[in-house]
Every structure is written in C-alpha cells, then in structure tokens.
Structure 1
Amino acid sequence: MMTNKKNLNLSGEWSQERYPFRHMSQDKQPTVLSDIYKEEINIAIWQRHKQFSVKEFLALNPTFQKEMVLTPQDAFSRISESFDNNMTEVSEDIALLVDMFCYLFELNQVGMRLKVLDKAMCPKFHVDKVPCRLVTTYQGMATQWLPHELVDQTKLGWGCNGLPDNESGLYQSESDIQQLHCGDVALIKGTLWEGNENAGLVHRSPELVANEKRLILTLDFM
C-alpha cells in the first residue's frame, strides 16, 4: 500500500479518519460492480470495451439530451421512444444498466441523464456529492480519474486557488491520470456514501478534440 504524505497529520501520523485509503476494482465480468460495497473501493469498473454504432445518430442529433426517471419495467420502452425507436442496441443496453443499478442498490427507480457533448461537461477534477453514480460512454473519450493515493484533497474546489489542475498541486504528474475506455461501465462512489465523506473518487470529463462528439450516460439514486 502506498502512503500518501498528504494523508499525514501534523505529528507525521496517518490520518485514516480524515483521508481513508481507497482504490479501484476492475474486471471483465459485471459482478465486479458489487465490489463498490467494499469500504476500500471508490470505483468499480466493468471492462466491457464494447463498441456501439451511434455515429449516424450523433450526426443527425448533435444536441440530443434526455433526463428522466426510469424503472426497470419501463426503461426500454421510454428510452426507445426518445430515440424514435432507433438505436435499439443502446436502448437495450441502458435498460440492462438500469435493471442492474436498481438491483444492486435495491432501488425502485433511477435518475437517468443521456447527453451528446462536444466539450467537457465537468472539465476540472472534482468529487460527486452523491452516494454512487453509474457512468458509461457510448461514443468518444471516456471519463478520467485519479487514484486516491495520488491526490492532494486540499487542492480540490476553492483549494486550487484559481489555478488549473495541472498547476495547483492536485496531482504530481500527467501519468497519474487514469481513463476509462469507451463502453466501460463504472460505479463512482461519492461523498454522500456513508463512511466515504473524504474519499469520493476524483474525476473529470475529458477534453474533446475538434468536431468530436461524446455520448455519455449517467444513472443516479432517486
């Protein structure tokens, strides 16, 4: 286990209560998502590397976005309708993820956001003020994140003193930045998860190249 100097208190002792250690869990099987319940995990990644045929849809619908509350029972029909009954593969996949998310967390419904982006939605590194969020990218560059032990938590938000992330001291090297693959499914633990108040995953939207479109899905507790 790496010891982050930034987690030491003034006496040089590890401050486990303030900045508890967290790390990732990843696997090619969807069962890895249940690892999010482990106290030491703040991101669980189902490595699908799955490709979806959405380029034509993005070209025809460059500003598409939908926000709705879905249940496992109505997810497919409502998503399919929002696509005018096109994009069946994506509709089926979203319905599957809604069902998995609800089952995993014993929810009756979820809040869904599906957006086409041509620029970073959240360009600065941050933590989510939610218990847990599901994220997957159907087209374009996927979410970037920082390993917990490499982050100076005091440089988040106002702590950056107006400096960009690469100058604030939030992280030490560009090689510290990790990135999901398009098609991967990640559960990102936030600060409202009980016992995770100072250990939410630090992440951001990637910068997109000119004329690139990104289609991203998020699911949240309701």
Structure 2
Amino acid sequence: MKAVTSPLREITLQRQSRQAIIGSQAELLTDIYRDDTNIVVWQRRIAEELIQAANYIVETMPRLQTSRTVTPENAHAAVSDVLGASHLMEPLCNDIARLVDMFCCLFDLKRSGLRLITLDRAMCPRFHVDRVPCRLVTTYQGEATQWLPHHLVDRSKLGAGNQGKSAECYDVLKEAAEINQLSRGDVALLKGELWQGNENAGLVHRSPQLECNSRCLLLTLDFAN
C-alpha cells in the first residue's frame, strides 16, 4: 500500500528543505520565488569602474551611512545627491539605480528601502535571520556577507539561544562545515522570516569580521511601505 503524506507533514518537510541557487545570469534571481529556496546569488564580475568608485568612497567617505526610500525613477538622483554627481561616481549611481529597478520589478514594488554604508567593522557579527520578506545585498568593496546552508543550522542557537555568549563562543552549525561567503560584486537575494511560507527557514547569515584598517562598501535593498 502506498504511504499517504498528510498536508501538514508535507508542509513541514518543505520547510525543512531549503537550497541555494547560484549562477552567472541575472535572470536566475526570479528563482527566489521557489518554495525550496532561501538564497539566490547572481555571481557577476564587477566592472573596474565600479571598483574605482567604491575604493574612492571608502577612502574619502569612511563614515558614509545613508538610508532612503527610493523609486526606480528617482534612485539615480538620490544616490547622486549622496555621492556627488561626478564622472567617477556615475557608473556606481547607474548600477545602484539598475538594481533598484530590478528589485522593484521582481517584487512588484513601487519603492524600495535603500541603504548604502561604509563599514570598518562587522555590522551584524552574529549569525542571525532577518525579519523581512526578502533583502538584496551586494558588496562593492571589501569582505562580503557570510551565510550557512539551511540543513546545517541549529536554530536553537540563534538569537536568545546563545545564552548571552559572544559571537565567537557559540556555533550554530550542526556539524563541521565551511561557512559560505559571497564575493565582491555578487548580487544576492536573502529570503527572510516574513516571506509567506518561510517561517523558521529564513537564511542564516552574518557580516564578516574585517581586518584592521580595512573597510567595505555595502548596499542593501528592502521592501518599503
């Protein structure tokens, strides 16, 4: 006799299984809608002009922190207002505006929450999940986001489960495994806890520790009301 799986058990099994989808084509970002996926990474080769602009920012704007709500139509102007309308900054402004347009189109949003920040230390050094539907992250300069495969995570060690210990004193991995890390220029969609049907399956990730005197330039995009 064929075994019958109850709808509740089937949903539970689906939540226990999450995969990463990684590739070199921007089109694969649409795979974030797959129920069995909690991270999609578009591995792109970052242009030299973007590297030059990012290097200039981390050297001349070491305390850059800007958070704005933007639309695809005004994103370029908003970023130019922060970075300055110069020949050096134009490629970066264009790239950020393009990502805003892609993000809003993908999720049928009229606007997005944009954060562009220069860091000299890990912003979120502990492994955690985001209480958002989905977040886009990309690092233009420096060490990029680290993340863990869903099936290797012990979620009881997240948040309050670490019992007040520092990030270096507990391990959320069920077994010895390498920590995955994005590369500079990668565009990643990180599915969070507020994505419908993704409860207890949000991607577990953290900011990397930065070496002394090193900085990174990070862009994040979020859903905006």
TM-score, normalising length: structure 2? 0.88
Question: Which residue identity lines up with residue 79 of structure 1 in the other structure?
Answer: V
Match of residue 28, structure 1, among 15, 24, 27 = 24
Where 2:79 maps in the other structure, the secondary structure is: helix
Cα deviation, residue 200, structure 1 = 0.1
Q: Deviations over 1:101-148 (max 9, x none)?
A: 000000000000000000000000000000000000010000000000
Counterpart code for 2:93: S
Question: For structure 2, which runs of at least 5 residues remain unmatched after alignment?
Answer: 1-8
Counterpart position of 1:125: 127
How far does residue 173 in structure 1 lie from its aligned partner after superposition? 5.7
Match of 1:55 in 2: 55
What corresponds to 2:3 in structure 1?
none
Q: How far has the Cα of 1:202 moved from its partner?
A: 0.1
Q: CA deviation at 1:58?
A: 1.6
RMSD: 1.9
Tell me how far apart the structure 2 counterparts of residues 169 and 56 of structure 1 sit (CA, whole Å). 36
Q: Which residue of 1 aligns with 2:206?
A: 204
Q: Which residue of 1 aligns with 2:77?
A: 77
CA distance in 2: counterparts of 1:217 and 1:89, whole angstroms: 15
How far apart, in 1, do the equivalents of 2:177 and 2:13 lie? Answer: 28
Query: Equivalents in 1 of 2:157, 2:148: separation in Å?
Result: 13
1:39 matched to 2:35? The reply is: yes
Unaligned runs of 5+ in 1: 1-12
3-state SS in 2 of match to 1:16: helix
CA distance in 2 between partners of 1:205 and 1:72 (Å): 27
Looking at secondary structure, tell me which structure has more helix per residue: 2
Corresponding letter in the other structure for 2:218: I
Residue identity (%): 48
Q: Secondary structure at the match of 1:176?
A: coil
Q: Show CA shifts across 1:53-109 (max 9, x none).
A: 121222111101111111011111121121111311110010000000000000000
The one-letter code sitting in structure 1 at the alignment partner of 2:45 is H
Aligned ranges for residues 1-222 of structure 1 at < 5 Å? 16=12, 19-51=15-47, 52-53=51-52, 54-86=54-86, 87-165=89-167, 167-172=169-174, 175-222=177-224
Q: Secondary structure at the match of 1:111?
A: strand
Residue 175 (structure 1) shift:
3.7
- Matched letter for residue 64 of structure 1: L
Bigger drift between 147-156 and 17-26 goes to 17-26
Q: Which residue of structure 2 lines up, in the alignment, with residue 7 of structure 1?
A: none
**Between 122-131 and 47-56, the greater mean CA deviation after superposition:** 47-56
Displacement of 1:190: 0.2
User: How far off is 1:172 after superposition?
Assistant: 4.7
Report the residue type matching 1:75 in the other structure: A
Match of 1:9 in 2: none
